[in-house]
Amino acid sequence: MLWNQGLAEELGWEGSPASHPEQLQALAGNQPLPSSQPVATVYAGHQFGQYNPQLGDGRATLLGEWLTPSGDRFDVQLKGAGPTAYSRGGDGRSPIGPVIREYVVSEAMHALGVPTSRALAAVSTGEPVVRNRIEPGAILTRVASSHLRIGTIQYFAMTRGGDEVGTLVDYAVSRHFADHIARGDLPANNAAVTLLDGVCAHFARLVSHWQVLGFVHGVLNTDNALLCGQTIDYGPCAFMDHFDPQACFSSIDRQGRYAWPNQPGIMHWNLAVLAECLLPLIDDDEQRSKETAQQLIDQFPARFHAHHQQWLAAKLGLDRITEADGALIQRFHDIMAAERLDMTLAFRWLTEIAGDSLDDSPLPELFAAPASLIDWSGEWQDRRALNRGEADAITQAMRATNPTVIPRNHLVQRAIDLAEQGQLEWIDALVERSAAPFEWRPGDEEWARPPSEDERVTRTFCGT
């Protein structure tokens, strides 16, 4: 079993499954927690652009909502605990591989500052799960702000309609956007408008963060897009090692629909699907409703761009990004692509030279800057000389946005291989190291280095 004590403390969870057998029974899906009434929630969704009127939850069981001592509300869900009313003939179970992937990557994403569902526990069931081969089964305990998806709204809009969509929208707004309304960040007069505007803001920020980290989600179906703006469903997801502007890892994504460069456009598309479901609630007049919805979704590209520029400015040690900086930034990306430079380490190399710390870090052993990058860095330093504001704060922002350690595919793969053999110590160490992704630590060569040729993982599988 993997147990996330840090998250347990944030939730105000008392005890642990190691010392409380009834907790272990609950996290293994054998008996509910006291006061829990497990349910499976229903949703629909567009999978690779095709509408499916009923998708899930086929292998997830909501144990209930959890209120933290400070009053924050979370869903606690078991993934892989067995069939539900929506399993559509599936077994409702999960092999240990996908459970480990989700545990490791979602916790690393959280440490990187990306809004995400989290992993409280991973429990092996001792039961085999039959896929292409027989694999050991496991259950993940997932914690999210909620599991309301675009696909949840789609199900009620397309299959149930009427007042039920309105009730759901009111609920989603009160659960996720009450604070934004109170702060005056979102309009309050129409819940559907509030929801669309709020989700648009969440997605723009979320996907901009994915992009600058080189994270490829892999299955951005509308059922995998949470209204609360957290990353969910760590199926065939992967981080780039060498910078590849067309990066796509998922074995089932043959057209590259969900490739790295397409993620902002796809989240914009997903938003349009949400808007379509909300049309009857936005305005009684169909034309006015469409105009309002269109205006809201049209904000997405500019919102995304603004966040993306902010991330790039921080990561490149620039006070801001002006139009004149566009060519410089493009050349950096071109060099990374042409030289197949490790994206994470290339950004970190800039961070170390900006802070005069290259000689004090293990980076020279991990990353050799080619002549083209060294040349480019001269122009970049000239541009940095024009920065206004506190130089220290700008360097600090670089350190806080350019990770040293990310959950690289070969690390995740090793974790999965070890878990299948019942070995968890190294996985604990990986999770622990990934919790401090912006610092250097002794022994970091193991965690920060790119994969060797034979470790490289180029295809990932969703593991359903």
Residues that bind ligand AMP (CB under 6 A): 55-59, 86-87, 90-93, 219, 223-224, 233, 235, 462, 464
Contact partner, 366, from ligand AMP, Mg ion, none, Cβ < 5-8 Å per class? none
Q: Decide which of ligand AMP, Mg ion, none touches 97; Cβ closer than 5 to 8 Å per partner kind.
A: none
Pattern 218-247, Mg ion, x by CB under 5 A: ------x--------x--------------
What CA–CA distance (Å, rounded) separates 413 from 424? 13
Residue 102 in the binding site for Mg ion (CB under 5 A): no
Would you state the torsion angle of the CA atoms of residues 258, 139, 148, 296, taken in this order, to the nearest 10 degrees?
Answer: -20
Smallest gap from Cβ 333 to ligand AMP, in A, equals 31
Q: Which is nearer to ligand AMP, 92 or 317 (CB)?
A: 92
Cβ 13 to Mg ion shortest distance, Å:
25
Residues 186-225 interacting with Mg ion (rule: CB under 5 A): 224
Whether the Cβ atoms of residue 397 and residue 351 lie closer than 8 Å to each other: no
57 within 8 A of 69, measured Cβ to Cβ: no
| Burial (CB count within 10 angstroms: exposed 0-12, middle 13-18, buried 19+), residue 163 | exposed
Contacts of 23 (CB under 8 A, 6+ apart): 15, 16, 17, 33
- In the stretch 267-306, what mask flags binding to Mg ion with x, by CB under 5 A? ----------------------------------------
Closest CB 236 distance from ligand AMP, rounded Å: 9
| Binding partner of 440, given ligand AMP, Mg ion, none, CB within 5-8 angstroms per partner class | none
Distance between terminal CA atoms of the chain?
Answer: 21
Compare residues 92 and 264 and give the one whose CB is closer to ligand AMP. 92
Q: In the 8-state DSSP scheme, what is residue 255?
A: T
Residue 116 vs 224, nearer CB to Mg ion: 224
Report DSSP state, residue 451: P
The token pair at 201 is: 């803001």
Cβ proximity of 308 and 261 under 8 Å? no
What is the rounded CA–CA span in Å between residue 209 and residue 258?
A: 16
Q: Let me know if 223 is a catalytic residue.
A: yes
Least distance from Mg ion to the Cβ atom of residue 459, Å: 19
Select from 211, 246, 144 the least CA-distant residue to 401. Answer: 211
In the list ligand AMP, Mg ion, none, the entry touching 93 (Cβ below 5 to 8 angstroms by class) is ligand AMP
Query: Rounded to the nearest whole angstrom, what is the least distance from the CB of residue 256 to ligand AMP in the complex?
Result: 17
Beta strands in 97-190 (DSSP E): 118-130, 134-144
> Which does residue 342 touch among ligand AMP, Mg ion, none (CB within 5 to 8 A, set by kind)?
none
Q: Which does 58 bind (CB under 5 to 8 A by kind): Mg ion, ligand AMP, none?
A: ligand AMP
Q: Which of 57, 223, 241, 319 is catalytic?
A: 223
Pair of tokens at residue 247: 């990066």
**Minimum distance of ligand AMP from residue 424's CB (angstroms):** 23
Toward Mg ion, which CB reaches closer, 57 or 342?
57
Residue 208 CB, shortest distance to ligand AMP, in Å, is 23
Report how far apart, in Å, the C-alpha atoms of 349 and of each of 106, 185, 315, 403 are. Answer: 25, 37, 11, 11
Full DSSP string of 383-450: HHTT--S-HHHHHHHHHHHS-S----HHHHHHHHHHHHTT--HHHHHHHHHHTSTTS--TTTHHHHSP
Residue (151 or 450) nearer to ligand AMP, CB: 151
| Cα–Cα distance for residue pair 47/37, rounded to 1 Å | 30
Q: Residues 230, 220, 122, 12: what is their CA dihedral angle, to the nearest 10 degrees?
A: 10
Q: Residue 224 Cβ, how far from ligand AMP at the closest point, in Å?
A: 5
Give the strand order in the sheet containing 73-79: 2-3, 118-130, 134-144, 73-79, 60-67
| 92 binding partner (options ligand AMP, Mg ion, none; Cβ < 5 to 8 Å by kind) | ligand AMP
Minimum separation from the CB atom of position 257 to Mg ion (A): 16
Quick one: 133 or 183, whose CB is closer to ligand AMP?
133
Which of 438, 461 has the CB closer to ligand AMP?
Answer: 461
Number of residues that bind Mg ion (CB under 5 A): 2
Answer with the entry of ligand AMP, Mg ion, none that 3 interacts with (C-beta below 5 to 8 A by kind). Answer: none
Cα 211 to Cα 73, 77, 93, 245, 246: the distances in Å are: 28, 28, 31, 10, 12
Closer residue to Mg ion in complex, CB, 156/243: 156
- What residue number has its CB nearest to Mg ion? 233
In this complex, which beta carbon is closest to ligand AMP, that of residue 90 or of residue 245? 90
Rounded to the nearest 5 degrees, what angle is found at the Cα of 181, between the Cα atoms of 175 and 183? 120
The option from ligand AMP, Mg ion, none interacting with 57 (CB < 5 to 8 A, set by class) reads ligand AMP
CB-based contacts of 162: which residues, under 8 Å, 6+ apart? Answer: none
Catalytic residue list: 223
Interacting residue ranges for Mg ion, rule: CB under 5 A: 224, 233
